[in-house]
Amino acid sequence: MKIAIINGPNLNLLGKREKDIYGDMSFEKYLPVLREMFPSVTFYYFQSNIEGELVGEIQRTGFEYDGIVLNPAAYTHTSVAIGDAIAAIKVPVVEVHISNVHAREEFRKLSYVSAKAAGSIFGLGLQGYELAVRWLIGKA
């Protein structure tokens, strides 16, 4: 089974950025943990700070992989293009947010992704990625 994990802007700074909100582990440290947890899954990881690159990867992996775990970060709240890309592809997308976006600023409550995603997880820290992968495995 092949799962793509796609992270949006500023998630390259996990572990350094607003640690009180996002924790102190980088995604580069977390990814091997995830790979060890799910040895039967082939993971592809992509992070970009650029909206168009995220759309490109959703389009590409969306016809090639078995599932996508997507944290579009700030683009969640602004990007019609990312929402449209999810609607355009075949594979299920699980939206993940490390923080509880509903307990933060008002603008974080709007997601252009949730309505197009199979489901959404927020506020459970990095464990949200693990739960998303478990769901995708169960669905396959």
User: Residue 129 catalytic?
Assistant: no
Binding flag, residue 131, ligand DQA (CB under 6 A): no
| Contacts with ligand DQA, 2-41, as mask; x by CB under 6 A | --------x-------------------------------
Measured from the CB atom, the residue of 27 and 65 that comes closer to ligand DQA is 27
H or E element in which residue 42 lies:
strand 42-47
Q: What is the dihedral of CA 31, 37, 38, 43, to 10 degrees?
A: 0
Does the annotation count 77 as an active-site position? no
Tell the burial category of 108 from Cβ atoms under 10 Å away from its Cβ (0-12, 13-18, 19+). Answer: middle
Q: Which of 74, 118, 131, 137 binds ligand DQA (CB under 6 A)?
A: 74
Cβ-based nearer residue to ligand DQA, 2 or 51: 51
Residue 134's nearest CA partner among 37, 45, 56, 25 is 37
Interacting residues with ligand DQA (CB under 6 A)? 10, 71, 73-74, 76, 97-99, 101, 108
